[in-house]
Amino acid sequence: MTGVLDSVLKATGAYKFYESRLNSEVERGPIPGHIGIILDGNRRWAQNRSYSVELGHAYGADVVEKLLDWCHELKIRSITLYVLSTENFQRSSEEVQEIVRLIQERLTKLLKDERIYKYRVHVKGIGKFELLPEPLLKILREVEEKTADYDGHFLNIAIAYGGRTEITDVMRSIAEDVKKGTLQPSSITEETISGRLYTSYLPNPEPDLIIRTSGEERMSGFLLWQGAYSELIFMDVYWPAFRKIDLLRAIRTYQKRQRRMGK
């Protein structure tokens, strides 16, 4: 039904009008303070068009750049993007190298992006950085250092990230403190764990909304602890084809839900 509606809107030239109307509706409701997005479907989008996989990833990276403006316009303060998982390293070496090269290229571009400084965007990578090549790690650290004092918006880039790995790291950290005698097992609480997660520095570490594109309906290890009470929205659109109108639709769905948080 969504695809049919989009075709009609494009054919009649009413697409911008519909986007504007959606935008007005969404602005009247609660806006999620933190959204997480699983950027899925680059390869299938490319294959369906007989493009190279590399081109699919490049188009997906272009959409990420547009997303920064959309979230600023909607006053979404924090974004966590699932860019590269630890499992993705099991793909062909050629594809992994291309993804790493593309991330490095876009981070270099981000370093010079005036929006980062104008909107005071705090950029941070989260993941197992020992899996990353030194050139990529170097530019990531440079972006982090340049934006470390910013608190207008927060952009988390999950690279070489896995939710189970994150929780394992936290457990290891807690075990070390128990071993040293600086932490008693009886004093370990949910807050002890939450305070050691990769996202603990955020004003709102737990996403209000998590979006996954491509039609797949699973978390794939994304923010497993933080996403326990996130609203989940799975969208039947490949990431390179994701538009502001899709983001607005997801937020509108989020606004219609009742967030009981287990109560």
Report which secondary-structure segment, H or E, holds 179.
helix 163-180
Residues noted as catalytic? 40, 88
Report which secondary-structure segment, H or E, holds 203.
none
CA atoms of 76 and 72, how far apart (whole Å): 6
What angle, 0 to 180 degrees and rounded to 10, lies between the N-to-C axes of helices 15-27 and 244-256? 40
Three-state secondary structure call for residue 37: strand
Burial letters 97-133, b for 16+ CB under 10 A, else e? ebbbebbbebbeebeebeebeebebbbbbbbeeebbe
Contacts of residue 250, Cβ cutoff 8 Å, sequence gap at least 6: 209, 211, 233, 235
